[in-house]
Structure 1
Amino acid sequence: MQLWNKLSKEELVEKLKERGTKFVTVSFYQYASIPNPQVFRDHLFQMWDNLGVVGRTYVATEGINAQMGVPADKFEEFKKELYTISFLNNIRLNIAVNEEEAEFPFLKLKIKIRNKILADGLNDATFDVTNKGKHLKATEFNALIDDPNTILIDMRNHYETEVGHFKGAITPDVDTFRESLPIIESEILSGNEDKNIVMYCTGGIRCEKASAWYKHRGFKNVHQLEGGIIKYANDCTDNGIENKFIGKNFVFDERRGERITEDIISVCHQCGEAADTHTNCVNDACHLLFIQCESCKEKLQGCCSTDCQDVYNLPIEEQKELRKGLENSNQIFKKGRSDKLKFKDNNKKPVRVAEAIAISNKL
């Protein structure tokens, strides 16, 4: 049996349209010992491919990190099969807040073996990764972040926090989770050992590791939002709890964002008008992630610049020739940072606590 996808993006879209499948967008993670990731990976692929599941999953000896679209009519069967795996029995599944923002959350099933399920740059052997911060439910989270002795930290990257975050949160201007850990300690936590430290991220996995690391580094009152922004938003809606998040929650599927409130707190990176829709430059030699309003999208055909637009309008064969020898990687195509983006601050520095408090008081 073929345990990987070989279809093009166009073929995948057509295949999904023919099926007419409605998907439930789901994410989950679990730290657990997986002695043979390859065997486990192949087992998952066969199981999920049979159900028509699409999405992206990372498997490592330390556990699993998954974001996927499950056919709605197969969702109960998916859960039943997933729960037969001992360390995933009754695992919390984060269900997307807004399903309607993309026709298909993912186009194909990808399950990759990685050294770690989260690129954190930490040596797990040097500290107890199970000694995590206290998990907070939505009501507990709201109460604690209202305490003046609390520091609320967004553990996500700059392009995520730009379109949405919690009121009063400190949003370090970082490109990666790995980069954020030492910056947050030196710029935010140092000197505030007596305060309540509350962290949040998209679905919880980054806080799971960060809270254990900061406890190892000597910080005592460490807390994390259980299930991240996704679970929080759903819990607030389901239980009539005050929602303290503003704007959009950036997500790592074809939607690129799910609206939590109607507030638009960011601007189009090309014209400066209010906007919070992320797009990837359609030039295959670029794919820069940036914020683009509908007017600029139409004018520039979904490109990040006129240079990319010129390339995009060349015949496909000429485009391929221009791409030869280019290494298309995250090292070249930084998410949301480019001198081409007139209204994106590429030189912003991490916000210090005093500055963050002053800013949050104006919200």
Structure 2
Amino acid sequence: MQLYNKLSAAERAELIEKAGKERLTISFYQYAHIANPQILRDHLFITWNKLEVLGRIYVATEGINAQLSVPAENFLAFKKHLDSIDFLKDIRLNIAIEQDNMSFLKLKVKVRHKIVADGLNDDAFDVTNKGVHLKAQEFNDIIADPNTVLVDMRNHYESEIGHFKGAVTPDVDTFRDSLDIIEEDLKEHKEDKNLVMYCTGGIRCEKASAYYKHKGFKKVYQLEGGIINYMRQVDAEGLENKFIGKNFVFDHRRAERISDDIIANCHQCGKPCDTHVNCANEACHLLFIQCEECAKEMQNCCSTHCAEVNSLPKEEQKALRKGKGNSNDIFKKGRSEVLKYKKNLRG
């Protein structure tokens, strides 16, 4: 019985193109108590593989976090399967604003310690004791209140290309880093201020809201379904859009255009740009913002060194990488001494 993906990304891309089927990019999460994540993981893979689901799914004792794509013609069968699982019945599905048949090229269902790496001791607080969920209109109303502090719970490279107007955007590399910063900044206002949070799809805010309630905050709110669900409601209900720029997403698209505003800059020349790329040098793979002109000049690389390496024959590149492992840059997101125009550079 097949329990793991056996095709390469290139092979899968070719099959998708030949099939000519429209695919839907979807994300969802659910905190729940799962006794045996491995059994659930195998069940999901077997069922979803038959439905041609592709994506990245994490299962843990605390729940599930899924970003995936499914052929539109299989969506109802996929939804029926979700509804057959008690804690996933009628779950909210965030359907991408911009669709791309190549958003995911493999099916990866993995058992993890947590569905979101957060560095928290969850035994110290109840993760289900979450804050108040806000729909788009409620969110717009409360962030207009001067007694509200709006916080972006995403990382620096996400908020750099797009965020809500007036939001606090911590210059952090991880979700865990932002928790302590926000608590310290608002420690004198745990009783009186509205703490309103948002993230991409809601999963980080869900954990953060429970954490801040545990820390004594009395008025804790989160944007239900995150930015993705917000835009769905804005479009459907004709509401005012308070988000500017792009919404960073964790698939091959890298971002969805929300407004025409370009609030970021090319990290190499400084001109207005909000296109994230990965350095073409496989030993680097640094994520950064690059305009078309710099991409051409730098051969899709972050530095002249990487461009020189990337111009070598593939076998020579492999020989250079052999035994060295990946550069630390592969784990960085827009932070490197070679990026001249990166704001708040920390190396």
TM-score by length of 2: 0.96
Amino acid at match of 1:321: A
In 1, the alpha carbon distance for the partners of 2:102 and 2:336 equals: 28
Across the aligned residues of Structure 1 and Structure 2, the Cα RMSD in angstroms comes to 1.4
In 2, the alpha carbon distance for the partners of 1:12 and 1:346 equals: 39
In 2, the alpha carbon distance for the partners of 1:329 and 1:33 equals: 37
For the pair 1:312 / 2:334, whether they are aligned, the reply is no
Aligned counterpart, 1:189: 186
Aligned counterpart, 2:332: 334
Give 1:325 shift.
2.3
Amino acid at match of 2:315: E
In 2, the alpha carbon distance for the partners of 1:88 and 1:56 equals: 17
Give 1:183 shift.
1.6
Any idea what SS the aligned residue of 2:139 has?
Answer: helix
Amino acid at match of 1:212: A
| Contact 1:338 1:346 survives alignment (8 Å) | no
| Contact 2:279 2:302 survives alignment (8 Å) | yes
Query: 1:67–1:279: structure 2 CA closer, same or farther, 3 Å change rule?
Result: same
Aligned counterpart, 1:59: 59
- Residue ranges of structure 2 left out of the alignment (5+ in a row): none
Query: 1:329–1:93: structure 2 CA closer, same or farther, 3 Å change rule?
Result: farther
Query: 1:245–1:275: structure 2 CA closer, same or farther, 3 Å change rule?
Result: same
CA shift digits 1:54-77 (9 cap, x unpaired): 100000011100000111111111
In 1, the alpha carbon distance for the partners of 2:233 and 2:324 equals: 45
2:256 counterpart (252, 255, 258): 258
What is the percent sequence identity of the aligned residues? Answer: 66
What does residue range 133-144 of structure 1 map to in structure 2 within 5 Å? 133-144=131-142
Aligned counterpart, 2:237: 239
Aligned counterpart, 2:199: 201
How many residues are treated as equivalent by the alignment?
345
Aligned counterpart, 1:22: 22
For the pair 1:46 / 2:41, whether they are aligned, the reply is no
CA shift digits 1:302-340 (9 cap, x unpaired): 111111111111111111111122333777531111111
Amino acid at match of 2:241: N
In 2, the alpha carbon distance for the partners of 1:246 and 1:152 equals: 14
In 2, the alpha carbon distance for the partners of 1:94 and 1:346 equals: 32
What does residue range 120-139 of structure 1 map to in structure 2 within 5 Å? 120-139=118-137
- Residue ranges of structure 1 left out of the alignment (5+ in a row): 349-363
Query: 1:141–1:252: structure 2 CA closer, same or farther, 3 Å change rule?
Result: same
Aligned counterpart, 1:357: none
For the pair 1:110 / 2:108, whether they are aligned, the reply is yes
Aligned counterpart, 1:351: none
In 2, the alpha carbon distance for the partners of 1:26 and 1:189 equals: 34
Amino acid at match of 1:195: K
